[in-house]
Amino acid sequence: MHRIVLTLVATVAFTGSAFAQAKHTATKSVASVRGAIADSSAKKANPKAADQKASVAHSAARPTVKQSTRQQVRATRYGGFMMAPPPSPPPPPQLDTSSPRTLNLTNANTGEALTVTYWSDGAYRRDALDKLNHFLRDWRESAETEMDPLLFDVLWHTQMHVGFNGSVEVLSAYRSPTTNAWLASVSRGVAGDSQHMNGNAMDISMPGVPVFRVQQVARSLGMGGVGFYPRSGFIHIDTGPVRYW
């Protein structure tokens, strides 16, 4: 009986020790697994961070490559040369400020002709200005306005320096707001706020003289706007801000 009791005690002690050892082993195993997962995720996170850093570095370098490529393409497209700026107008000519100023005009729309000396003895002549106002009227509506006398000076000086002695053809001068609005609706070349409505613009041509030559001289005066219409064979002159197109 005593032996049986000792055997049972030994068996219980051994079983408890084995259970405790198994529990400890199981706990270590779980901790090891968790640690492995944590280490594994950390290891996985590090390559991603490295990849992201590499991607950012690569992205930062890419614009330089693109910029270089674009520059090469542009250089190839334009033959490796920079586009030249537009030529500047020639220097202003010496103006005649003492001779009488006479205009010889033909209205291309009505067929009317007018030769008039509008300036002499250092002053504009009122009677001549009135004739010019009527001649340069809006022929569509028979509407007149007070034309800017400086416009006649631009035309006269241009004609003198071109060396043209014939009759200047006037294609358009004063336009009423109604006429200008209609023209703007049917032609992209007509501005809605055209200087023609202000009585300070004309579209003119000098038969036999290259349009480019007339435009070049008008620009050299620096007395207002100059528009170039080589296909239509005329230039636009006005006494508004100095600009060219």
Q: Is 168 within 8 Å of 205 (Cβ atoms)?
A: yes
Query: Which residues does the chain have with pLDDT short of 70?
Result: 1-90
187 phi/psi in degrees, rounded to 5:
-140, 130
102 phi/psi in degrees, rounded to 5:
-120, 135
**Alpha carbons 148 and 129: distance in angstroms, whole number:** 9
237 strand-pairing partners: 202, 226
Q: Does domain 101-244 have CATH number 3.40.50.300?
A: no
For tokens 């197109």, name the residue: 245
CA 220, 200, 227, 214 dihedral sign is negative
3-state class (DSSP) for residue 114: strand
The pTM is what? Answer: 0.63
Question: Helices H, strands E: what count in the chain?
Answer: 5, 8
The three-point CA angle 130-133-137 to 5° equals 145
pLDDT at 195: 93
Q: Is 234 within 8 Å of 214 (Cβ atoms)?
A: no
pLDDT at 133: 98
pLDDT at 6: 52
